[in-house]
Amino acid sequence: MTTPDTYRRATRGAALSMPSLRRIAVITVHTSPLAQPGTGDAGGMNVYVLQTAKELAARGVEVEIFTRATSSADPASVTAAEGVVVRNIVAGPFEGLGKTDLPSQMCPFTAAVLREEANHAPGYYDLVHSHYWLSGQVGWLARDRWSVPLVHTAHTLAAVKNASLADGDTPEPLARRAGEQQVADEADRLVVNTADERTALQHYYGADPAKIDVVAPGADLAVYHPASKHAARAALGFGANETVVTFVGRIQPLKAPDVLVRAVAEILRREPGLSLRLVIVGGHSGTAEQSYSLVRLAHQAGIADRVTFLPPQPSAQLADVYRASDLVAVPSYSESFGLVAVEAQACGTPVIAADVGGLGVAVNDGVTGTLVNGHAPGLWAQTISELIHDHDRRARYAAAAPDHASNFSWSHTADGLLRSYDRALSRTALSPVLAGADRLRSRVTDLALRRQRNNRTVERAAAQR
């Protein structure tokens, strides 16, 4: 791998050995990797950023993660693991800003990121990796200022979400769509979760396929693995003979937990004596609680006593929820990958998932779970009911699930990211960065002129005294 210093020398025609990647800046503006997934805007992206940072640090690459502080109690920096530092940037009020309000805070956030780099010698960061379009806007400016490549992961795309909106959901704004287009055009590499997402980037944003890398996310297989179902049920207070169907995720229309409430209600209308429990694990996202109440829906459907609501769970406790479940359902309208599906399968639990986005990769249809083509509650009721009563098929799915999930470890993800970083740093992929070398030389010249002006000012002041 190569560093920006190598490129500056390369532009002078020097033939040098290539040093290793040393340090990267990771930008994740709207949600901290330290936040509990399932609360507010925290979700799979938080898990992705933190887990990949740990994997990269374990391989000797220092990772500094820049995120927006959301509390006055947030320290300026937190060591999340050896070699991983999270920097909490103060940009706007700590509370009361939703994701759609954050574009107004990009200037102070970006300024703080650039100032952090300015505390070090040029070339302190070898590469910028931004997550989500807001972060891509910051990363784009940092790339130009620091003369290093920008790698960007969108995680979700406005055009894809708007093409598959849930009833009553709000379309993503034009500003986001335009911002994503800018970042797709400017980034040196684009990392996507699946081949389908690569196709979406090309179709909706005209992205150059030559700069897109497919890198699947993973699961922490040291945490998510098969263990005693009986012990997990006892710990959670579930009945030994209950059939448990579980949803894990943010409570919002996009994730479609309401489809499951309606589906379970339909199953119980047909089979009122069935010992069936729906478990919903997660918190409300944004202002969804007022307009999207699953508690109210469960009461209206007459199944409030059959639905258990749990708050977002730390990973060790979440693993027990998966193990205690007979099925995990992922009915999302849009999903770039679906970490929940992989985590559940890693614990030996079959998955029923909507056949959208990356879920077709995360779930091996007919082997570790079932993909559902649509979101009609009746269709989901039929699919869930069939699996509930087909014990042999469910057992086959459960047996095959951990082996399938083993293909999606964070170690594999880190391997893919390092290959993408290497391409970003390669000379053939870095025409924008080579041009950036001139910008860096201009910056050094500007700093020198500024020092000269400051020295003259000091000299004049001394002469006047």
- Range(s) of the chain covered by CATH 3.40.50.2000: 4-218+411-453, 229-408
Query: Do the annotations mark residue 46 as ligand-binding?
Result: yes
Query: Do the annotations mark residue 132 as ligand-binding?
Result: yes
Q: Report the sign of the C-alpha dihedral through residues 406, 333, 130, 214, in that order.
A: positive
Query: Do the annotations mark residue 349 as ligand-binding?
Result: yes
Q: What does the alpha-carbon distance between residue 438 and residue 11 come to, in Å, rounded to a whole number?
A: 10
Q: What is the mean pLDDT of residues 192-198?
A: 95
Q: Which two tokens stand for residue 339?
A: 């970490």
95 has a pLDDT exceeding 90 = no
Query: Do the annotations mark residue 117 as ligand-binding?
Result: no
Query: Do the annotations mark residue 125 as ligand-binding?
Result: no
Query: Do the annotations mark residue 457 as ligand-binding?
Result: no
Query: Do the annotations mark residue 43 as ligand-binding?
Result: yes
User: At which residue do the structure tokens 């699996």 appear?
Assistant: 387
Query: Do the annotations mark residue 439 as ligand-binding?
Result: no
pLDDT at 73: 84
Mind listing the pLDDT tens digit for each residue in 99-142? Answer: 666 776 778 889 999 999 999 998 999 999 999 999 999 999 99
User: Global pTM?
Assistant: 0.82
Q: Which two tokens stand for residue 362?
A: 């995360």
Q: How confident is the model at residue 276 (pLDDT cuts 50, 70, 90)?
A: very high
CB 21 within 8 A of CB 40: no
C-alpha distances out from residue 424 to 41, 337, 387, 417, Å: 29, 23, 46, 10
Q: How confident is the model at residue 435 (pLDDT cuts 50, 70, 90)?
A: very low
Q: How confident is the model at residue 379 (pLDDT cuts 50, 70, 90)?
A: very high
Query: Do the annotations mark residue 335 as ligand-binding?
Result: yes
Query: Do the annotations mark residue 64 as ligand-binding?
Result: no
Query: Do the annotations mark residue 162 as ligand-binding?
Result: no
Q: What does the alpha-carbon distance between residue 371 and residue 361 come to, in Å, rounded to a whole number?
A: 10
CB 141 within 8 A of CB 411: no
197 contacts: CB under 8 Å, gap ≥ 6: 154, 157, 214, 336, 357, 358
Query: Do the annotations mark residue 55 as ligand-binding?
Result: no
CB 289 within 8 A of CB 251: yes
Query: Do the annotations mark residue 30 as ligand-binding?
Result: yes
Q: What is the mean pLDDT of residues 195-217?
A: 96
455 has a pLDDT exceeding 80 = no
Q: How confident is the model at residue 94 (pLDDT cuts 50, 70, 90)?
A: low
Mind listing the pLDDT tens digit for each residue in 413-430? Answer: 999 999 999 999 985 344
Query: Do the annotations mark residue 322 as ligand-binding?
Result: yes
> Which residues are paired to 334 by β-bridges?
none
Query: Do the annotations mark residue 252 as ligand-binding?
Result: no
| pLDDT above 90: percentage of residues in the chain | 69
Cα 286 to chain centroid distance, Å, stands at 17
Query: Do the annotations mark residue 54 as ligand-binding?
Result: no
CB 262 within 8 A of CB 268: no
Query: Do the annotations mark residue 19 as ligand-binding?
Result: no
6 has a pLDDT exceeding 60 = no
Q: Which amino acid is at 395?
A: A
pLDDT at 179: 94
C-alpha distances out from residue 198 to 207, 216, 333, 413, Å: 9, 12, 18, 16
pLDDT at 464: 47
Mind listing the pLDDT tens digit for each residue in 295-352? Answer: 999 999 999 999 999 999 999 999 999 999 999 999 999 998 999 999 999 999 999 9
- CATH number for the region 229-408 comes to 3.40.50.2000
* Burial (0-12, 13-18, 19+ Cβ within 10 Å), 131: buried
CATH 3.40.50.300 assigned to domain 4-218+411-453? The reply is no
194 has a pLDDT exceeding 70 = yes
Q: Which one-letter DSSP state was computed for residue 369?
A: E
Query: Do the annotations mark residue 45 as ligand-binding?
Result: yes
446 has a pLDDT exceeding 70 = no
